[in-house]
Amino acid sequence: MARYLRTFLFRYESGLLIATLALIYFWPQLISNLFNSNYLPHGHCYFWAPDLVWLHVVSDTTIGLSYWAITYTLVYLIYKTRKDIPFAKMFLSFGIFIITCGTTHLMEVLTLWDALYWFSGGIKLITAVASVATAVALPPLIPRIIELIKAANLAEERKYQLEQKNKELNEEIAERQKAQEEITKLNQNLEKRVMQRTSQLEEANRKLRNEINIRKRIEVEREKLFLATRQRAAELDAVIESLPDGIIIGDESGIKKVNSVILNIIGLDKIEEVNKDIFTLYKMTSPRFAENSDLLTGEDFPFIRALKGESVVSEIIIDNLKTNKKIVLRSAAAPIILDKTIIGAVSVSTDITEAKRSEEEIKKLNEKLEQRVIERTEQLQAANYELEAFSYSVSHDLRAPLRGIDGFSKALMDEYYDKLDEKAKHRLERIRLASQKMGVLIDNMLNLSRLTRAEIKPKEINMSEIAYSIADALQKSSPRRFAEFNITQNLFSYGDENLVGIMLDNLFANAWKFTSKKEVTKIEFGSVIQNEKEIFYIQDNGAGFDAAYADKLFAPFQRLHSPKEFEGTGIGLAIVQRIVHKHGGQIWAEGEIQRGAKFYFYLSQKKDE
């Protein structure tokens, strides 16, 4: 077949060569008439009918351009596949044929207007040669083309088979990819689970390490606690042993701990001598009530009562097992409670034998002292009676001469007023004033004496009401004075209402007197709390006093101002102090010259005194 094809091609090429030589032979005549246009254009054949002319122009132009496009496509195909395409020369010959055919159609358009028929015939000759060459060359290629078609069909079938195989392979690949994806997912899930499990194991290990560390710390703390407990127990034993009182600690099963003091009191060397049994100890010591020496029953024993939940303090008498001496004990026993459960009891016993002996001696001394107090009281009552009688006698005996002096002086003034010069009159007036002042002093001395002996009748007193009544009386006594009284309401105390009234009256009168030279009198009565004690005060804006002489304020007949400045006998504040002291209180004063004074006092007389 290959040999046949080579023979065909040789013949084809030979025939094409002969046709070409023939064309060259006739070519001179063709060349000489190529552009001869002595003929009528082809359009005259159509009578220059526009529709017909343009029908042929459009058709031939379209055909010619299409043939040229086909030729260009074939040339481009041969160029791109020149190494692989079969029948390349056949395709080239076919391309020449097609392009010449297309050119003939374009010449048909040209000859409509220009009669270049020789040129058009030359193109057609070339077309004829190409057509013949192609027609001659094509039949020998038919068998090969058939083989190629078969090969193509076979290739197509194989292609189909390959596509099926490829499809199956793709499906298998897809399945494998899907399986791979599932495996990847499983691996990811597995890795995730491994990571989770690893994390859980790490967390478990961490917790385990923490638990181990905690247990180690607990063991260390337990060891420390054990050592501390032993230390505390040793310290507790040392404390119990160092206490001056006898200690017994135990529960219903027996005595757990005692100190040497209780062993010495009882007369034992070791508590094991009574088998640590509280009932054995009770029977051996024969305890008795200290107040009546009656024997205690087992149920009355303080330690046993404490085991039942009672807190007991008893005075008992026991016999020392060694010396057989009677020992008086003050035994205090209480239950030991843990979580509301009685787990034992503790007994603290103090040897009060000497104290009881001293108490008996003190009791006897007190009896003697009470007898002496009674005797002394009778003597004081007698002395007070004599003093009262003397005071009455002095008052009566002194008042009569003073009344006589005052009366005769007044009689001289009345009867001989015109005969006396001013000097005599002045002297008589001074005699009268001195006698009157002496009378006032006697009255004050008697009042001071009576206060010393007066009996207190304590009760709750409204201090504010008393202060209001005194302030009202002072204002009425001098209605032209402008005064401001600032009295705190609801001030209460406890004492003798009459004596407290006299005390407040003297304090307010003192403030009223020493503010008499002020345009506005200001007197304040109130209280403050100091050291949980209510302290009352009376403050004024009067003349005040030098604080250096504050200790002389409450002495009888002591005055810090002259009689010319302010009247008075110097006994009022002494009376106040006596009343305060009689109520178990204290009084003191603060002041500055011309800036007023402030008197503080408190009464400690209580209801239960």
Q: pLDDT digits over 513-569, tens only?
A: 888 888 888 999 999 988 888 899 999 988 777 776 667 777 665 565 555 565 655
Among all chains, which residue has been given the structure tokens 């034998």?
353
Confidence band, pLDDT 50/70/90 cuts, at residue 159: confident
| Those residues with Cβ within 8 angstroms of residue 420's Cβ, 6 or more apart along the chain or in another chain | 412, 413, 428
Burial letters 296-327, b for 16+ CB under 10 A, else e? beeebbbbbbbbeeeebebebbbbebeeeeeb
Three-state DSSP class for residue 110:
helix
* Higher per-residue pLDDT: 411 or 582: 582
> Looking at residues 103-111, what average pLDDT do you find?
82
* Higher per-residue pLDDT: 401 or 598: 598
pLDDT at residue 561, rounded to an integer: 54
Among all chains, which residue has been given the structure tokens 């009656």?
294
Strand-pairing partners, residue 248, are 258, 347
Q: What beta strand segments (E) does 92-184 contain?
A: none
Q: What is the pLDDT of residues 474-510, one digit of tens each?
A: 888 888 888 889 999 999 988 888 888 888 888 888 8
pLDDT at residue 462, rounded to an integer: 92
Token pair recorded at residue 548: 């250096």
Token pair recorded at residue 383: 């002395």
Token pair recorded at residue 261: 């003091």
> Looking at residues 90-109, what average pLDDT do you find?
79
Q: Backbone phi, then psi, for 64, in 5-degree steps?
A: -60, -45
Alpha-carbon gap, residue 317 to 296, rounded angstroms: 10
* Higher per-residue pLDDT: 416 or 3: 416
> Looking at residues 84-95, what average pLDDT do you find?
69
Confidence band, pLDDT 50/70/90 cuts, at residue 4: very low
Among all chains, which residue has been given the structure tokens 């503790």?
346
| For residue 253, pLDDT beyond 70 | yes
| Those residues with Cβ within 8 angstroms of residue 554's Cβ, 6 or more apart along the chain or in another chain | 573, 574, 576, 577, 587
Under a CB-based contact definition with an 8 Å cutoff, are residues 500 and 461 in contact? yes
DSSP-derived secondary structure letter, 295: B
Among all chains, which residue has been given the structure tokens 């004496």?
449
Q: Kindly report which listed range (58-67, 183-192, 440-449, 464-473) carries the lowest average pLDDT score.
A: 440-449
Under a CB-based contact definition with an 8 Å cutoff, are residues 287 and 301 in contact? yes
Q: What is the pLDDT of residues 409-457, one digit of tens each?
A: 777 777 776 777 777 777 777 776 666 656 665 665 566 556 555 567 7
Alpha-carbon gap, residue 601 to 466, rounded angstroms: 16
Under a CB-based contact definition with an 8 Å cutoff, are residues 528 and 485 in contact? no
Token pair recorded at residue 55: 């029908």
Average pLDDT of the chain?
A: 76
Three-state DSSP class for residue 317:
strand
Strand-pairing partners, residue 591, are 597
Nearest to 410 by CA among 432, 386, 441: 432
Confidence band, pLDDT 50/70/90 cuts, at residue 392: low
| For residue 299, pLDDT beyond 60 | yes
* Higher per-residue pLDDT: 301 or 350: 350
| Those residues with Cβ within 8 angstroms of residue 158's Cβ, 6 or more apart along the chain or in another chain | none
Token pair recorded at residue 470: 């005194």
Under a CB-based contact definition with an 8 Å cutoff, are residues 105 and 63 in contact? yes
Q: How many CB atoms lie within 10 A of CB 155?
A: 12
pLDDT at residue 537, rounded to an integer: 93
Q: Kindly report which listed range (62-76, 213-227, 328-342, 568-582) carries the lowest average pLDDT score.
A: 568-582
User: What are the CA-CA distances from residue 442 to residues 39, 399, 409, 439, 579 (Å)?
Assistant: 192, 8, 20, 5, 19
| For residue 390, pLDDT beyond 60 | no
Three-state DSSP class for residue 328:
strand
Among all chains, which residue has been given the structure tokens 């990571």?
195
